[in-house]
Structure 1
Amino acid sequence: MAGKDEYYNKAKQQGYRARSAYKLKQLDETAGLLGQGRTVVDLGAAPGGWLQVAAEAVGERGTVVGVDRQRIDPLSDPEPTVEYVRGDMTDDSTRDEIREVVGGSDGRGGPVDVVVSDMAPNMSGDYDLDHARSVHLVRQALAVATDLLDSGGDFCAKVFDGQDLQDLKADIEPEFEYVREVRPDASRDSSSELYLVAKHRLTGPVRAGDVVEVTIEDMGEEGDGIAKVDGFTVFVSGVDQGETLDVRIDDVKPRFAFGQPAE
């Protein structure tokens, strides 16, 4: 109870709508999710505690979009950076509205830097069922994130620990540079919740382990060959300019990849 009282009282004293605001603060401190000028989409944002934290972090140059099927009461302070979308995150119309809010009047949608979700299922009392439902919510949030995130963007979602956690992580990992588990101190001691933080969205046409045929078009300053796969840059070691060969991809970053000649 002491931990619960500490964060509950702290939220009341500091004007946050929910004690969960401190979870996002701690996640940001641990994983570097927020920052000045970033665009953040908060899924399941009601009652708005995470919106408050995100708005403080992104500042006047940033944008925060709160998405929920419930109405979210607007924040009381001046909030030029906060927008609200009421709807089901799984609906195409809701995603289109998010893009319009982020991208402005042209409707094309601007870059989204971070998608976060603190959603949890309605508790049934059956732990295995609640775990499975939380995994399903994360998968839904992931579908939104991979649709909206800019290259290099980040994703963070709450899930209950359990037997399907590793499979869930395995499904997220190919879409990002890496995924880690984070358990904020602000979570209740008795809770099995944790957060999966996926960093640096990969949008290129290759993944680690792929073998692709490339032509070395140029040489880099470090002596690596430079090839293109659908416009995406691949640095290849131990090759000469003009070679055409099969390359095994070893490591993928948001904007380029590294490879070596396939044996």
Structure 2
Amino acid sequence: MSDMYYNRAKQEGYRARSAYKLKQLDETAGLFGPGNTVVDLGAAPGGWSQVASERVGEQGTVIAVDLQRIEDIDGVETLRGDMTDDDTRERIIERVGEADAVVSDMAPNMTGEYHLDAARSAHLARMAFETALELLGAGGDLAVKIFEGQDVAPLREDMESEFEYVRAVHPDASRDSSSELYLVAKGRLTAPVREGDELTVDIVDEGSEGDGIAKVEGFTVFIPDAATGEEVDVRVDDVKPRFAFAERR
């Protein structure tokens, strides 16, 4: 299997066989759209950035970040720096402003000691997640590599509180012997409310479906069977990137 992807990468002009992992993640989860801004963390030698650049097109922006030098790629801007360094993360945020997607194929230098390698992988994955929280606008997406082990569940749980949903994906292009998986988080939640929150709100308007509309720090919350002018006690039961639903309590 691995030789097939290696040979295809050579034939199709990708710098690394890992390009096919990102293609498969995009096909599975819809990470990129035309005109998107994408940040590729741990990008060297550049296979993922090549794929991202193809998918976002000429109107899109791809910023590739790595400590190693990345040879020029058409349509890709490179930023050299160490992702474990706060200064690098600040430079990315300064340069990008707001991104539509953050992807990370970062892996530690392997020691061959599985628990150590898995722990280091989880540390890099968490750094990618924390960087993504600062970069992604509402509805933005994240894909991050992590080695299987005890650190996957806590990271996934933290990601689930910040995104609409998270899924674990094993791309076909991963080597058969590999313990890597990708956590793909869709729909960055920047809302001031979270599922389960209990609030008292004023109904300020009515939606097209007849639901009452409340505003929480400018964020729209729909409440069924509530009329304009009412003050209601509600529990939030579903949060989307740009609005939420709540029920009376």
Q: TM-score of the superposition, structure 1-length normalised?
A: 0.91
1:58, 1:221 → 2: CA distance? 34
Greater Cα offset, 118-127 or 91-100? 91-100
Change (3 A) 1:133 1:95: closer
8 Å CA contact 1:90–1:144 kept in 2: the answer is no
Deviation at 1:8, TM superposition (A): 0.8
Change (3 A) 1:162 1:96: closer
Change (3 A) 1:56 1:165: same
Deviation at 1:36, TM superposition (A): 1.2
- Say whether residues 1:213 and 2:200 are aligned partners: yes
- Say whether residues 1:57 and 2:55 are aligned partners: yes
2:193, 2:106 → 1: CA distance? 31
- Say whether residues 1:237 and 2:224 are aligned partners: yes
Q: 1:7 aligns with which of 5, 8, 12?
A: 5
* Superposition pairs of residues 24-173 of structure 1, within 5 angstroms: 24-75=22-73, 79=74, 81-102=75-96, 109=97, 111-173=98-160
Identical aligned pairs, as a percentage? Answer: 67
- Aligned CA RMSD, in angstroms, stands at 1.2
For each residue in 1:212-241, what CA deviation from the matched residue of structure 2 results, as whole angstroms up to 9, or x when unmatched?
A: 121011111211110000000000112222
1:240, 1:261 → 2: CA distance? 12
1:21 corresponds to which residue? 19
SS of 1:113's equivalent? Answer: strand
Alignment: residue pair count: 249
1:97, 1:176 → 2: CA distance? 24
The one-letter amino acid paired with 2:14 is: Y
1:226, 1:91 → 2: CA distance? 43
Q: 2:188 aligns with which of 187, 201, 215?
A: 201
Query: Can you give the 5+ residue segments of structure 2 that lack an aligned partner in the other structure?
Result: none
Deviation >2 Å, runs of 4+: 88-102
